[in-house]
Amino acid sequence: MPSLVKPLTLAALFAVAATSVFAQAAPNPFDNVPKARTDYVAEKGDATDRIIGGKTADDGEYPFQVAFLRADYLTTDPESQYEAEFCGGSLIAPTWVLTAAHCVTDYGETISPDFMVALTGTTDLMAGKRVKVKSVHAHENYNDWTMDNDVALVELDEAVDLPPVTLDLDGADFDTAVVIGWGLTEDGEYPRHLLESDINVVSNAECNGGIKTIYSKALRQAVTDLGSQYGIAQAQSDRVGDELAEGIADPLTENMICAGIKEGGRDSCYGDSGGPLIATVNGKAVQLGIVSWGEGPADAEVKCGHEDVYGVYSRVSSFKDWIAAKTTATN
């Protein structure tokens, strides 16, 4: 039945190729980042402060920045705080920290407050004050495949006497912004001191274009590899690859915002998740985004800071009602 075999084989090619490229849920920083930090210290012997395309933040420059630590990694040794860091967050009220949902969920379940500790009042992961977590609230509609609604609130067990960040609740237009965090640097190192990087805010259309180019290349390569394996002519594989690429939907939703540098080299990365994307308005820091996700070429070891691909952030203004409802309901 040759007339049936070909369509069925091509249909299978569509399904397998698409699955190989898109079948991946959000990474779990709670598990992955502390292990990577511990391995780094074991290999290098100490923490580092180097970053490509950014600089070390001044002490006290971002008093609202919070680091989340895995409680089971902590000891009385301050170095354990460096190894325990897995995500960032921003103080928006004395007892409330804004972060990403993918930082506080695991396989669809919200992480227990007992499993995490907030580190406040420091740019140095080996200093600051540890604060217990009282409750954790991931957005009810968070989707770990599309990364839509990637926002969460963490309630602290005690009030923190530090200036909170101002939230951009109106969806103002910004051309430039700063991303801060303790995440992986472009040369594969994990910093001890808070780092900041100046980046540009770009349109979702431009951001979608860069990410879809990566997906298109990956799909075409997957189809070619599978076609070769099953003896399908290259011309047919090319046609399937083109059709798949043309059908890729925009990965960004209206709840997301993009920022980075067109030529690459400056971006948020692993360990920065949940931290703030901020702009300066009349000398005041205003948070417009939350570090959420990013992409890179299929063969890239680290999917951060690549040319024509930007970091994706949860758009704070999209969640103003949700934030207000949660922080009011539990007070």
Q: Any catalytic annotation for residue 237? A: no
Measured in whole angstroms, the distance separating CA 165 from the mean position of its chain's CA atoms is: 19
One-letter-per-residue 3-state SS of 137-204 = EECCCCCCCCCCCCCEEEEECCCCCCCCCEECCCCCCCCEEEEEECCCCCCCCCECECEEEEEEEECH
Using CA atoms, how far apart are residues 281 and 109, in angstroms rounded to an integer? 37
Q: Where are the alpha helices (DSSP H) in the chain?
A: 2-22, 29-44, 79-84, 204-229, 234-246, 320-329
In contact, 119 and 162? CB cutoff 8 Å: no
Please identify which of the residues 150, 168, 267, 272 carries the catalytic annotation: 150
Question: What type of residue is 305?
Answer: G
Has 139 been annotated as catalytic?
no
**In 229-318, at which residue ranges do the beta strands (DSSP E only) sit?**
256-260, 276-281, 284-293, 311-315
Which residue of the set 197, 237, 268, 273 is catalytic? 273
Q: Given the DSSP bridges, would you call strands 129-138 and 116-120 parallel, antiparallel or unpaired?
A: antiparallel
Amino acid in position 89: G
Active site residue 193: no
How far apart CA 112 and CA 136 sit, in angstroms, is 7
Q: Please count the other Cβ atoms lying within 10 Å of the Cβ belonging to residue 45.
A: 7
Asked whether the beta carbons of 265 and 301 are under 8 A apart, the reply is no
Q: Which of 90, 102, 137, 306 is catalytic?
A: 102
Q: Which residues pair with 195 in a beta bridge?
A: 56, 181
- Say how many CA atoms lie within 13 Å of 43 toward its Cβ: 10
Q: Which residues are catalytic?
A: 102, 150, 273
